[in-house]
Structures are given as C-alpha cells and as structure tokens.
A and B are shown apart, each in its own frame.
Chain A
C-alpha cells in the first residue's frame, strides 16, 4: 500500500544542525590549542598560574591614581587618601615622576622650545632613508639621502646653516676632483687629489666662506651643545649613526676578510678579532679616558663623537661576521657565474653576490642593530646622560629621591617599542625580498 512511497534514501535534506558544543567556537579552539593532551593541559594551567601571579602583583601596583603627583611624598599622600595602604605603607606606583620628567627622559637637557628640531630631524631621517629601503622609488631621491645628514646635523646641533652647506660643498669638490683625476690619470691619483682638495677646502676656505655667507644671509638656529643632548634622543642618535655608518663599514670588512689579497685579508681579520674580542664598555672607556691622555690638554674632541666612532667600529666588526656568513652561504656557482659574465670584482659583488648575501644576512644584521641600540645604555658609565643615566640624576633631586621601578618600567616600554618595530621591519623586508618559491 504504502510501498510506493518508501524510498531507501531521504528525499529531503535535513536542516543544518549546529555542531556539538565541543566542536565549535571558543570551546573547540581551547580544546585544540590549550588542552589537546595531558602535557599541554598541565603546561596551560601552569602558564596561566604564572601569568596570573605576575599580573596580580604588577597590576595593582601599576594602576595607581598618582599621575598628578608632584613629588614622592605627594604621591604617598594621594595613595593614602585613596585608601591604598597596607602593612608596609602605601602601595602603588608613583607615575607623577614620568609626567614631570618624561620630556627630560626623551630629550635630555635639550632647550624646551627647540624640541621640534630633533623631532623634525627624526622624521626627516625616516623619509630620507626611504629610497634606500624601498627600491621601487625613483633613484634620483638618493641625492636627497646624501644631503640629509648635513641637514640633520644642522637641525640637531644648530648654528649657521652655511657651515653644513660648505662642508657639503667640500664633498662635491672632492667628488669633482676624483672624476677629473680618474679621467686624466689613474685611480690612486684621483683618490689623492679628491682627498687633498676636500681637506684643503675645509681647512682654509669653508670657514671664511661660511662666515661671510652667514653675515649676508643669516640662517641661524640656536646652537645646542652635545652635553645637553640626553635621554632617548642620545640613544637614538648614537644608535642610528652607529647603524648607518657600521653597515657599509661592516660589508667592506666582510669583503676584506674573504678577500684573496693577503694584506687586506689579514688587516680585516685582525681588526674584526681585536674589536670583537674586547667588551664594548672597554672601548667606551678607551674613548672617554685613554684618548684624553693622548690628545693635547684642552682639546675639545666631542665625547659624543668619540662614542659614535667607537660604537660604529664595534658593531661594524659584528656586521662583518654576519655578512661573511651570508657570503659563505652563497653557492660557489654564483661567484663563478659573475666571473664568467666578465664582471670585474666590484661589479660582481655589487650586482650578483652582495644582493643575495645581504638578503640571507638580514635577520642577523637586524639582530646586531637591535643589540647595538640597546648597548647605547652603556654610555651611562662614562657620564653621558642616556635614559638610564638620567634615572640617577632624576633620583638625586629631593622631589624624586626614592623612586625606583616607575622609571625603569617607562624606559623598558619605550625601548621595547623601538626594538619591536625594528624586528617587524626586518620580517617585512624578508618577505618582500623572498625570491625562492618554497
């Protein structure tokens, strides 16, 4: 009777049922990621306990209504008014010190009304390195990159604009002399001529010319001395100058160390091993103490400049080894291919070898840079006011004597922001440059 209607298969689709609770949403994610096995479950619970332990200690201390505090005593008053008192006295951070001194932690003793200068300089620096970092931009922008250091110098240290301009003219004259020299005779003559022209121009002409021009068209910023530069500004200047200068130097050293020429090879190797074999703090002491004995008394050879040179040499040695790793990782066929194309040494390096070697070395190079940036805090020991050096100065005032962790937390956060962005950028660069199809 009903047999006609009986079918073996369902004719109508059932409505979609929701998956079981254990197979969807957050529960599924938790099960798969946090409790997928006994070991994982134990680790998860232990980690949560550890995070809770740290945060339960840190957060009640950190969340504290003391932003407006004017001194440590004032902070304690605010805290006890808020009822934040336990057996050991008031409990809570005193963030007033950050509000009071954050500008100093950022800029040191740089004149208050000139804070725009270092800020502009940093922005300008970031813009001027764009053509180097992003090869898709027009190559002519590199001229701007070459001019930028002089402008940056002027912005930060002030004085007459004509001083950096005449210094720049010296470079141009040197380059012109090099061109003329190399057209007429050999390479060595050209190098000597350009050095001679540049140095003579700087020693005898640039000063008077800058003075005259400064009188005719005065473009002038209030000069700032190096000793007024401190805080993160000091760390950034030393760090960036070290990074920018040590990369080319490091690459040259790496090429030198893997060179077949005996003298170049041994000199590079010796330099790298000596610099790398001694702690940075020793080189900084050398810069600040030992040099004083060798230089004639009264010599004003800027301490910051000495530090930048030492930091540059130090990180150049590390960069050299990182790049040498990249050079060694390259298949021998690449070198041979470049040779067989008839390229000379520099061309084969520039067009074939280095682009590949540097790409391999990016993580190592950025790693060295991040280390270099953090190592700038060591200048505290030679009396420069880097962020950590400023801490002791801030603590020495009667208002803030006794403040401890708040300053460290602030500095740690700022350093983290800097270093994390560098790390992110390196990852981006690696992805962008990936040519293999993996």
Chain B
C-alpha cells in the first residue's frame, strides 16, 4: 500500500511537469535528445545489438536528424514501437518522429493526422516460392496455399490480386515474419508473401537460398518513410530536408569520407556549397546551424552509403537498389534542389 501512495505522488508530479509545449524543435533542443520511434526489430531496418546500440536503415534516418540538430548522431532516444503502438506514440507526443518502415497511405496522412515527410524505401509486396514448385509467375499460383501475416495490408493486397486474376488460394495465417519463415520452410505453405525487402532478408537466412525464388510480380505499392505529427510544419520541414540532404549528397558525390573536406572551403559546385553551408544561409532557415547537413551526412554517410551498409548487396540481406536508385540511374529518388 505504501508503494501505491508513492506511485500516486509520482503521477501527480508527472502531470504537473508535463504542461508546457513550445515547438517540437524547441522541445527537442531543451531535452537535448531526439525521441525517435523505431520497430522492435526488423532485419536491416532497425535492431539493437548485444549492447543495446540501435543500428539499421531506419535508425540511420533518426541519427541523421539528431546530428543535424545537435551535431551528435547519438543524441537519440530510440523508442521501440509495435504495429499497434506506433501511431499513438507519435500522436501523443511520446516520440518526435517515427521511422518504422511505415507505408505512406492516404488515410494515415489525412485521417490519422500525420505528415509523411518523404520516402526512404520504395517497397512492394512480393512472393517467394521453392524452386521445386516450378512456378515462374504469381499468376500460376492457382489453388496454392499462401502464408500471410494476419491483420496487415498485405492480407488485403493478396486477396485483391488473386481476385482480379480470377484464381484461388488458401491462406495460412501467421503472426510474425519469423513464424512465416518457419512455416514456409516446414512446407506448411507453397508460397510466402510479404514486403519484398522482408522476403529478401528472409531468403538470406535460408541454408540453401538458391532453392527459393522471388517471383517477379510486385502486387502492391509500399512507399516506406518517416513521419511526424500534423501541426508543426517547421519540424516536418526539418526532418524532410534532412532526408533530402542525404539523398542529394549521394547525387552530388558527397560521402561521409569527403564531407569534412568539401565543407572546409567552397567548391566549384554551388549546390554542394549551399548544402554544406559554405554558401548561403540554408541552415538558419530551418532553425539550425550552418553545418547541419555536414553533421547529418557525417554520421553514417549519404543515402547510398546507408543503403549499402544496412540492406545493400554486400550485406546478407542483399537488396538491389531497384526503385531506390537515384533518378539519374533510373530510380525514383529525387531530392528537390537546395537553394
């Protein structure tokens, strides 16, 4: 009973302390840390290591934003969120931004009152089947059993795809990706469907990856990106342009290795100069220091470096750039100009 009283007192104290809210950037600066929501664990995108240090493709976005604000990529509190808790955590202000492989959809942007600030990974739902099944297209999967995570948009996409192609399937409901791997390997289903990045990561863990093929059909659009709350456009701009800075840095050949050197003195590329703060006052316009982009890029490199380090072809996950290449290379990444 004594403890309960103590907890009650803590609640009152917490309530009293919490009634103050300026702009998100001011809050973050006053706190000295960025609160960033991530997933509880998704290979390549976000995972804590044995010492609790977070690493991954989504995590790199958080670190870049923290570095743009504080000049320190470690000034981040990572809050693990599940599919159920992620949106409330953001809406209630528990986290300042969410970078958790979340698909940009109409209703999330409008009805849930969030702002997606861009796309850091263009994903889509695909299929994996054993080579022995002898199928080369998803349209040949008539009557197949398909492992599918319940309660996700993938379930709906799957039903739409099969109905529009006039073929039938039998769903095998599963809860998590790990369970999906086990069921698929145990032969409980002919095909496993989830986001193509997840399928690639899954296949990389198989003993004989070559015995399984990813079918060419991508049956949905899953643009994944970081998001912020409605209502603080300055903060949304900051996150958006930090991400754009990473993308633009790759386009202009600014890497973590040469960024300090390029920022030391103006180069003969005015766009790079404005990005790195040796020319113009772009940093001040979003309430940050001149070298905000330098710090953001210095943490884990430009977009291409982050991609290669976490999910690229040199990693076990081995994703090709595909749609996520720069627009100059036939991809969809296109940062608006820095001027």
Contacts and interface: CB of A to CB of B under 8 A. Distances in A.
Query: Are chains A and B native binding partners rather than an unrelated pairing?
Result: yes
Interface of B: 1-7, 9-15, 17-21, 27, 39-52, 56, 77, 79-82, 84-85, 88-89, 91-94, 176, 178, 181-182, 201-202, 204-208, 315-317
B178 A298 contact: no
A27 to B, nearest CB: 43
A-B pairs with the 6 shortest C-beta distances? Answer: A402-B205, A109-B52, A396-B41, A292-B92, A299-B18, A297-B93
Contacts of A295: 14-15, 18, 92
Given A299-B15, A394-B41, A402 B47 contact: no
Nearest to A296: B18
A167 interface: yes
Contacts of B5: 195, 198
Nearest to A199: B9
Nearest to A292: B92
Contact of A396 (B47, B204, B206, B315): B47
A257 interface: no
Contacts of A298: 18, 20-21, 27, 93
Contact of B49 (A73, A171, A245, A397): A397
A149 interface: yes
Nearest to B185: A88
Interface stretch (A60-68, A131-139, A317-325, A385-393): A385-393
A382 B10 contact: no
Given A203-B13, A301-B14, A404-B181, A382 B85 contact: yes
A314 B12 CA distance: 22
Given A293-B92, A402-B205, A245 B178 contact: no
11 contacts: A292-B89, A292-B92, A295-B92, A299-B14, A301-B10, A301-B15, A382-B82, A392-B176, A395-B43, A396-B41, A398-B315
A312 to B, nearest CB: 8
A288 B91 CA distance: 13
B181 A249 contact: no
A305 interface: yes
Contacts of B93: 297-298
B308 to A, nearest CB: 14
Interface residues of A, number: 62
A396 B80 contact: no
Contact of A245 (B3, B9, B11, B207): B3
A395 B18 contact: no
A305 B49 contact: no
A305 B4 CA distance: 11
A72 interface: yes
Contacts of B316: 73, 398, 401
A202 B206 contact: no
A371 interface: no
A285 B83 CA distance: 12
A380 B82 CA distance: 9
B1 A248 contact: yes
Contacts of A350: none
Contacts of A76: 207
Interface in A389-434: 389, 391-398, 401-402, 404
Contacts of B11: 301
Contacts of A117: none
A381 interface: yes
A227 B80 CA distance: 9
Contacts of B182: 404
A228 interface: yes
Nearest to A149: B3
A75 B181 CA distance: 18
A89 B94 CA distance: 46
A288 B85 contact: yes
Given A199-B9, A292-B89, 4 more contacts: A393-B41, A401-B316, A402-B202, A404-B181
Most buried by A among B13, B14, B41, B202: B41
Nearest to B317: A398
Nearest to B16: A203
Contact of B85 (A249, A289, A299, A395): A289
Contact of A104 (B15, B50, B79, B315): B50
A195 B9 CA distance: 11
A112 interface: yes
Contacts of A299: 14-15, 17-18
B62 to A, nearest CB: 15
A404 B178 contact: yes
Interface in A235-255: 241, 244-245, 248-249
Contact of B207 (A90, A289, A381, A397): A90
A245 B19 CA distance: 30
Contacts of B39: 396
Interface string A188-223: 000000010011001100000000000000000000
A227 B17 CA distance: 20
A437 to B, nearest CB: 37
A355 interface: no
A101 B176 CA distance: 21
A398 B88 contact: no
A248 B2 CA distance: 11
A76 B202 CA distance: 16
B4 A401 contact: no
Contacts of B201: 401
Given A248-B1, A401-B205, A383 B80 contact: yes
B1 A385 contact: no
B7 A401 contact: no
B208 to A, nearest CB: 6
Nearest to B88: A289
A285 B307 CA distance: 35
B278 to A, nearest CB: 37
A383 B52 contact: no
Nearest to B41: A396
Most buried by A among B2, B81, B202: B2
A180 B265 CA distance: 76
Interface string A333-347: 000000000000000
A288 to B, nearest CB: 6
B52 A228 contact: yes
Given A299-B14, A300-B17, A383-B85, A393 B51 contact: no
A401 B82 contact: no
A228 B11 CA distance: 21
